[in-house]
Amino acid sequence: MVRGRKIEIVSCLLLQIVVAATAANVTYDHRALVIDGKRKILISGSIHYPRSTPEMWPDLIQKSKDGGLDVIETYVFWNGHEPHKNKYNFEGRYDLVKFVKLVAKAGLYVHLRIGPYACAEWNYGGFPVWLHFIPGIKFRTDNEPFKAEMQRFTAKIVDLMKQEKLYASQGGPIILSQIENEYGNVDSSYGSAGKSYMKWSASMALSLDTGVPWNMCQQGDAPDPIINTCNGFYCDQFTPNSNNKPKMWTENWSGWFLGFGDPTPYRPVEDLAFAVAIFYQRSGTFQNYYMYHGGTNFERTSGGPLISTSYDYDAPIDEYGLVRQPKWGHLRDLHKAIKLCEDALLATDPTVTSLGSNLVASVYKTSSGSCAAFLANIGTESDATVTFNGNSYHLPAWSISILPDCKNVAFNTAKINAATESTTFSSQSLKPNADSSEELGSQWSYIKEPIGISKADAFVKPGLLEQINTTADESDYLWYSLRMDIKGDETFLDEGSKAVLHVQSIGQVVYAFINGKLAGSGNGKQKISLDIPINLVTGKNTIDLLSVTVGLANYGAFFDLFGAGITGPVTLKSAKSGSSIDLSSQQWTYQVGLKGEDTNLGSGDSSEWVSKSPLPTMQPLVWYKTTFDAPSGSDPVAIDFTGTGKGIAWVNGQSIGRYWPTSIARNNGCTDSCNYRGSYSSNKCLKNCGKPSQTLYHVPRSWIKPSGNTLVLLEEMGGDPTKISFATKQTGSSLCLTVSQSHPAPVDSWASDSKILNRTSPVLSLKCPVSTHVITSINFASFGTPTGTCGSFSHGRCNSPRSLSIVRKACVGSRSCKVEVSTRVFGDPCRSLAKSLAVEASCS
């Protein structure tokens, strides 16, 4: 204990020393942000602090720094910080000050997007739901109650940052703050009140006097001195609204988010690198990857409707905190190449010349003689060979070459020098706690959640209530319950015929129980329409409808008013006679949330757990509990929920989020090898069609003890928890890379102090990502015309017979190796052909 405290004090002091650094003056001009009088090329990446744990933050930040980032961007999540009005939370994953100080400690800057509207696929766009209940409030428009709350929270965050001296003007890392978020995308829906709200937001922000610039994204009319910035898959065509403002890109979507029921989006790194390079080619000086690490929507933080628990985003650092290769490595090389051009880029505006159709050269040449050039082929079909300054350059379609000295190519966006590293999930069964006192054969215990009304605070109202107004989002669950007396002569009871229950809802899931038994269910984004054949009995019948939200809407004009739940009509129709009765305006009994939520079963603590066998499975609304030992090793951990239906899970009382492995992605629109050439869009490159959208759910290591852990599930749909297993994620057991003779030499071979190229040949370099690993075998090597990709390489017509032995000799037994890709090394197996070297290696 004492020791831990000491370490804490020392690290606190260290953090203070870092932030006590000298104040920096941050301004801007038409070319760039200017820090202490110097223009800067800045490369930024988004990491949203509550989407990982404080234990993960240092590593994520270090990997960002190693990847070449200068800035970490994050939103501030109002509903996380003020879950109840005036009751603040800045602890744990919401310890914003700690996060900002850790970024500072790593020597990086911070872009703080206070909003306080975030969007971000985050519940209710980041707004606390209590805000909705303030009398007379209208969100994101010229409305006094809203503006008062927005100003109070924004000022609260600015004050907190100031107290901790976190603005650059005070010696801290924050160089830029954002107010609002993409309001320009929706402001026309708010009419003239939208305009005045936008102007008010701008002057309110400025009045807070942070000492550093503010930006508004996607706000073409952002008033001076606020910088309007661009969001999108490409922003090279963007121009700021004044000649005095720099061209800045606040969201370059590195992939896209996943929804339950959707296939998994991915964005090829060749295209992402192309987007970045053309942005800097066309005078951009700040760009931010949204996301650089996406992370996880723990608890009930995911937005909606139907945003998945994983927020991996195909980002350069994956959900689990492992670098995603070759994405991370290729972008790191790109950042190095751009930084080699920094002096020239910042000194002047470019001279742009055409080198042919779809071929453009932009040259940054200073009076003092430094020169950097970007050569672009924006055609989507054909590779080109261009002549520039008397030299000839190969430019693949949809690619850009960066020439930091206007002569030698340091980087081409379509030629990847970073190896692909395999990642694998290895399965480990749920190891029951060794000293578990539970009965043998039943490691699971359970509590059945009552069907229908069971809590004392249930209430009766005529008609069907909107769900968010009723639950205030304190729970995903709302029961709509009706008792009906059916007389013996009613048509619904005709011999052999069934009644049909019709239910209409605006989302996102409905379960219909008749007399305590599940009769049917459905789910949807905006509209659910159910027709369920049911059996009624003479006398008393209960219709219990459980409506479930899966994340509140986060985007669009008036998204706060979209609503959820059963809207009606709810009708009963006789299958035989066709006559129907409308139940919508009856006296419904309502229950907000489940009994087990009130008694906090998620914590695992209760005397009511039943451990008698048999364990009830495939039944709706059962709470399950087990204890387990930590999966061995230190690799990141996931729970594989295959075998269960849908619900929420807790590990040692921490909610790991909603699970829903039975939500299946549609069966079409996927492609394994997406063509990176041409404009990307969020549905261009999809995988995992026809499969569950998400089976694996991240459990941060720091939430697990070596033994005696508790796992609790609320299974709402029906499933078998004994099928659950653990998976740990490993990286880098195999490495693959293809380097052609026309690849640029590794960017690392450019000396950073002088721009002298010390290597001219391309080099294939491999490194086992795990520091204790070495390359144990070369499974494939061919210099010639190899084809295929990782796992499926094969020799082409042309192959140097010495390939395998040369690569083996250079690599096996070492953690890393480099092989020059040239005929000097391999001989020339086919004189007239362009050749490349493809290698697949194993590390262990």
- The nearest distance, CB 810 to ligand GAL, in angstroms, is 43
182 contacts ligand GAL (rule: CB under 6 A): yes
- The owner of tokens 């508004």 is 216
In this chain, which stretch among 113-121, 137-145, 646-654, 716-724 interacts with ligand GAL, using CB under 6 A?
113-121
Q: Taking Cα atoms as reference points, which of 246, 211, 210, 212 lies closest to residue 228? A: 246
- The nearest distance, CB 572 to ligand GAL, in angstroms, is 41
In this chain, which stretch among 116-124, 364-372, 669-677, 709-717 interacts with ligand GAL, using CB under 6 A?
116-124
Closest CB to ligand GAL among residues 79, 231: 231
Strand order across the beta sheet in which 38-40 lies: 26-28, 33-35, 38-40
* Subset of residues 236 to 255 that bind ligand GAL, contact rule: CB under 6 A: 251
- The nearest distance, CB 312 to ligand GAL, in angstroms, is 12
- The nearest distance, CB 231 to ligand GAL, in angstroms, is 6
127 contacts ligand GAL (rule: CB under 6 A): no
- The nearest distance, CB 118 to ligand GAL, in angstroms, is 6
* Subset of residues 638 to 667 that bind ligand GAL, contact rule: CB under 6 A: none
In this chain, which stretch among 31-39, 115-123, 200-208, 673-681 interacts with ligand GAL, using CB under 6 A?
115-123
Quick one: 759 exposed, middle or buried, by C-beta within 10 A (0-12, 13-18, 19+)? Answer: middle
735 contacts ligand GAL (rule: CB under 6 A): no
Q: Are 641 and 659 in contact (CB under 8 A)?
A: yes
Locate 656 and state its tokens: 């790991």
Locate 433 and state its tokens: 């706690």
3-class DSSP state of 206: helix
Contacting residue, 169, 219, 228, 231, with ligand GAL by CB under 6 A: 231
Closest CB to ligand GAL among residues 269, 291: 291
Residue closest to ligand GAL, measured at CB: 119
Closest CB to ligand GAL among residues 254, 408: 254
- The nearest distance, CB 187 to ligand GAL, in angstroms, is 14
Q: Are 687 and 669 in contact (CB under 8 A)?
A: no
Q: Which residue type is seen at 588?
A: W
Contacting residue, 257, 298, 588, 650, with ligand GAL by CB under 6 A: 257
Closest CB to ligand GAL among residues 181, 627: 181
- Other CB atoms within 10 A of residue 330 CB: 22
Over 149-167, what HEC string results? HHHHHHHHHHHHHHHCCCE
Closest CB to ligand GAL among residues 251, 342: 251
What is the H or E stretch that residue 96 is in?
helix 96-105
- The nearest distance, CB 138 to ligand GAL, in angstroms, is 21
Locate 821 and state its tokens: 């890709």
Q: Return the DSSP state at 133.
A: G
Quick one: 362 exposed, middle or buried, by C-beta within 10 A (0-12, 13-18, 19+)? Answer: buried
119 contacts ligand GAL (rule: CB under 6 A): yes
- Other CB atoms within 10 A of residue 414 CB: 23
Locate 94 and state its tokens: 């919401």
Closest CB to ligand GAL among residues 95, 182: 182
Quick one: 368 exposed, middle or buried, by C-beta within 10 A (0-12, 13-18, 19+)? Answer: exposed
Longest dimension (CA), the chain: 99
Pairing of strands 725-740, 836-843: antiparallel
What is the H or E stretch that residue 327 is in?
helix 327-340
3-class DSSP state of 597: helix
Cis peptide bond N-terminal to 116, omega within 30: yes
Say how far apart CA 462 and CA 629 lie, in whole Å: 50
120 contacts ligand GAL (rule: CB under 6 A): yes
- The nearest distance, CB 378 to ligand GAL, in angstroms, is 25
DSSP secondary structure string for all residues of 302-320: B-BTTB-SB--TT-SB-TT
Closest CB to ligand GAL among residues 120, 727: 120
Per-state percent for the chain, helix, strand, coil, to nearest 5: 20, 35, 45
- The nearest distance, CB 76 to ligand GAL, in angstroms, is 12
Q: Return the DSSP state at 805.
A: H
- The nearest distance, CB 126 to ligand GAL, in angstroms, is 9
Locate 23 and state its tokens: 């104040």
Closest CB to ligand GAL among residues 119, 546: 119
- The pair phi, psi for residue 269, each rounded to 5°, is -70, -25
178 contacts ligand GAL (rule: CB under 6 A): no
Closest CB to ligand GAL among residues 259, 744: 259
Q: How many helices (H) and strands (E) does the chain have?
A: 13, 43
In this chain, which stretch among 114-122, 327-335, 442-450, 696-704 interacts with ligand GAL, using CB under 6 A?
114-122
* Subset of residues 569 to 598 that bind ligand GAL, contact rule: CB under 6 A: none
Closest CB to ligand GAL among residues 120, 131: 120
Q: Return the DSSP state at 525.
A: S
Locate 772 and state its tokens: 């204790």
124 contacts ligand GAL (rule: CB under 6 A): no
- The nearest distance, CB 78 to ligand GAL, in angstroms, is 13
Closest CB to ligand GAL among residues 255, 744: 255
Q: Which residue type is seen at 251?
A: E
Closest CB to ligand GAL among residues 182, 748: 182
In this chain, which stretch among 118-126, 149-157, 789-797, 812-820 interacts with ligand GAL, using CB under 6 A?
118-126
Closest CB to ligand GAL among residues 118, 418: 118
C-alpha distances in Å from residue 747, one per residue of 7, 385, 403, 418, 568: 39, 21, 11, 11, 62
- The owner of tokens 């008397």 is 390
C-alpha distances in Å from residue 672, one per residue of 201, 267, 451, 589, 618: 45, 12, 44, 50, 34
Contacting residue, 181, 310, 348, 627, with ligand GAL by CB under 6 A: 181
CA Rg, the chain, in Å? 30
- The nearest distance, CB 300 to ligand GAL, in angstroms, is 18
Say how far apart CA 342 and CA 175 lie, in whole Å: 19
- The nearest distance, CB 303 to ligand GAL, in angstroms, is 8
Say how far apart CA 100 and CA 531 lie, in whole Å: 52
121 contacts ligand GAL (rule: CB under 6 A): yes
3-class DSSP state of 346: helix
- The owner of tokens 């603590």 is 605
Say how far apart CA 588 and CA 607 lie, in whole Å: 32
Catalytic residues: 182, 251
Using CB under 6 A, list all residues that contact ligand GAL.
Answer: 118-121, 181-182, 231, 251, 257
